[in-house]
Copies of this chain bind each other. A is one copy, B any other.
């Protein structure tokens, strides 16, 4: 087990009706709030009304930044920073999923920076401080509600970068599974693929002796597998939605990564599919993950895949380890298909036209090599993309 530092101060309020804590939580930070959200679904399902009622009843002055896009753009960040600075906002309250939360984190950091907030994302300037951030979660996927990272895109410069700072950790996050009841099933599925991918990226490493963390990872994977199809089919199944909702942050808050020697692989390739085609992040991960698994499977890595097959999928440990590994990969692929996710790039209208460019961009972004379970170079990435067609 490698050395690690670990701390998750975010106060989680989990369960039905937990939005009631908002009143008490907000009071700790002040009287002026920036409300951030996306496309407006929260106005249809009543969450917006519930939150603004609480704010009004408590004489909280609030401003709004709406229309935050999937893969949030620095433009929205700039807009949010301006509102916060113009009005001396005390707290940002994000209502939504990962995009809204990530954008809000960048706004929180941008508030304390005099220049263009893109400087913070592009590491031209360091994050020094951040406005406090609260979250009302409406989608289970990125886990941004309980960690200190955010991904911000700059469509002008065609960049998508990661920003991370302990001050970006939300102060509190309200996770009410009923708030995911109205989510379109495609988004539920993409979210589950994202949660599983976060877990896989930490789980698939070589011999780091972090046994407990790998068992935690298997717990999350088993939960996604047990409840994924139920959550997809039955929008209002509380138990399924609750387990998925609690799996999401635990997949990426450090629990399964701490003490492990994991550098992520599939995310680095998937992001190019989003950059080039606007493909939903979780969909890209679902297509690429089984292909990547098959591609990297070899004598050095087969034991880890066998471990995955036995512990997560319950495959008979007495079988040949390659047989277990292949069966596990097949089951992974079938699981994604069972929740309506595509198996190939062609299914989502992507052809051979940009494979080389995407492979190059993917490795350029990571200094020439992606991941460390099996380090992937240009030829590897290109081959994975080809096989994903």
Residues of A within 8 A of B (CB): 1-18, 177, 209-213, 215-216, 218-220, 222-223, 226-227, 238-239, 242-243, 246-247, 250, 255, 258-259
A246 to B216 Cα, complex, angstroms: 12
* A309, chain B: closest CB distance, angstroms: 14
Measured between beta carbons, the chain B residues less than 8 angstroms from A258 are: 14
A17 to B3 Cα, complex, angstroms: 9
Whether the pair B12, A10 counts as a contact (CB closer than 8 A) is no
Q: Which one of B2, B11, B213 lies within 8 Å of A15 (CB-CB)? A: B2
Whether the pair A212, B6 counts as a contact (CB closer than 8 A) is no
Measured between beta carbons, the chain B residues less than 8 angstroms from A215 are: 218-220, 222-223
Beyond A215-B218, A223-B215, whether A5 also contacts B14 by CB under 8 A is yes
Q: Which one of B12, B213, B243 lies within 8 Å of A212 (CB-CB)? A: B243
Measured between beta carbons, the chain B residues less than 8 angstroms from A6 are: 11-12, 14
Measured between beta carbons, the chain B residues less than 8 angstroms from A9 are: 7-9
Q: Which one of B1, B7, B222 lies within 8 Å of A10 (CB-CB)? A: B7
Beyond A211-B227, A215-B223, whether A12 also contacts B1 by CB under 8 A is no
Measured between beta carbons, the chain B residues less than 8 angstroms from A239 are: 1, 209, 211
* A244 nearest CB neighbor, chain B only: B212
Measured between beta carbons, the chain B residues less than 8 angstroms from A211 are: 223, 226-227, 239, 243
Whether the pair B14, A259 counts as a contact (CB closer than 8 A) is yes
* A216 nearest CB neighbor, chain B only: B219
Beyond A215-B219, A223-B212, A243-B212, whether A8 also contacts B8 by CB under 8 A is yes
* A171 nearest CB neighbor, chain B only: B7
A378 to B258 Cα, complex, angstroms: 45
Beyond A211-B226, A246-B212, whether A8 also contacts B5 by CB under 8 A is no
Beyond contacts A1-B243, A209-B242: 20 other A-B pairs, Cβ-Cβ < 8 A, are A1-B238, A1-B242, A3-B16, A4-B12, A6-B11, A7-B8, A7-B9, A8-B8, A8-B9, A9-B9, A14-B259, A211-B243, A212-B220, A212-B247, A212-B250, A213-B246, A215-B218, A215-B220, A215-B223, A216-B216
A239 to B18 Cα, complex, angstroms: 40
Measured between beta carbons, the chain B residues less than 8 angstroms from A227 are: 211
Beyond A219-B218, A259-B246, whether A7 also contacts B11 by CB under 8 A is yes
Measured between beta carbons, the chain B residues less than 8 angstroms from A226 are: 211
* 26 contacting pairs across A/B (C-beta < 8 A): A1-B239, A1-B246, A2-B15, A3-B15, A3-B17, A3-B18, A5-B13, A6-B11, A6-B12, A7-B8, A7-B12, A8-B8, A15-B259, A209-B239, A209-B242, A209-B243, A211-B227, A211-B239, A211-B243, A212-B246, A212-B247, A212-B250, A216-B219, A219-B219, A242-B259, A246-B259
Residue among A210, A215, A218, A227 with max Cβ neighbours from chain B (10 Å): A215
Measured between beta carbons, the chain B residues less than 8 angstroms from A3 are: 14-18
Whether the pair A14, B7 counts as a contact (CB closer than 8 A) is no
A247 to B5 Cα, complex, angstroms: 15
Measured between beta carbons, the chain B residues less than 8 angstroms from A11 are: 5-7
* A181, chain B: closest CB distance, angstroms: 15
A259 to B16 Cα, complex, angstroms: 12
A10 to B254 Cα, complex, angstroms: 14
Measured between beta carbons, the chain B residues less than 8 angstroms from A218 are: 215, 219
* A13 nearest CB neighbor, chain B only: B5
Measured between beta carbons, the chain B residues less than 8 angstroms from A4 are: 12, 14-15
